[in-house]
Amino acid sequence: MNNLIVKKPHNEAQQSKLRQLLVEWIISENQPISVIQSDAFHRFINALDSAFTIPGEKLVKQIIHNTYNNTLSLLIKYIEDNAIFVNLTTDMWTG
């Protein structure tokens, strides 16, 4: 017997906050965006919070893109204001 109780979805502000936290988790834990398509992931999230509507890949990619654009300008400003030297390292071997 399924004990899941489906709740009314959160308001847009709460959904947006939860979507942002989901994207932060995907990025910080190096998860593939496709993780949000997993049936097991959906069951897990629904068990934690059945009122959260899991976004699709397109919206997740849009949130990542917007976050990148907003963060890039802040990072450039921070470096311009505070950096004396900047060292960059690249990894040419990792695919």
- Owning domain of residue 70: 12-82
**Residue 34: both structure tokens together:** 């496709």
91 part of a folded domain: no
48 part of a folded domain: yes
3 part of a folded domain: no
1 part of a folded domain: no
Does pTM top 0.85 for this prediction?
A: no
- The tens digit of pLDDT for each residue in 8-63 reads 899 999 999 999 999 999 999 999 999 999 999 999 999 999 999 999 999 999 99
Cβ contact 55:19 at 8 Å: yes
**Residue 75: both structure tokens together:** 């990072």
55 part of a folded domain: yes
Domain count, the chain: 1
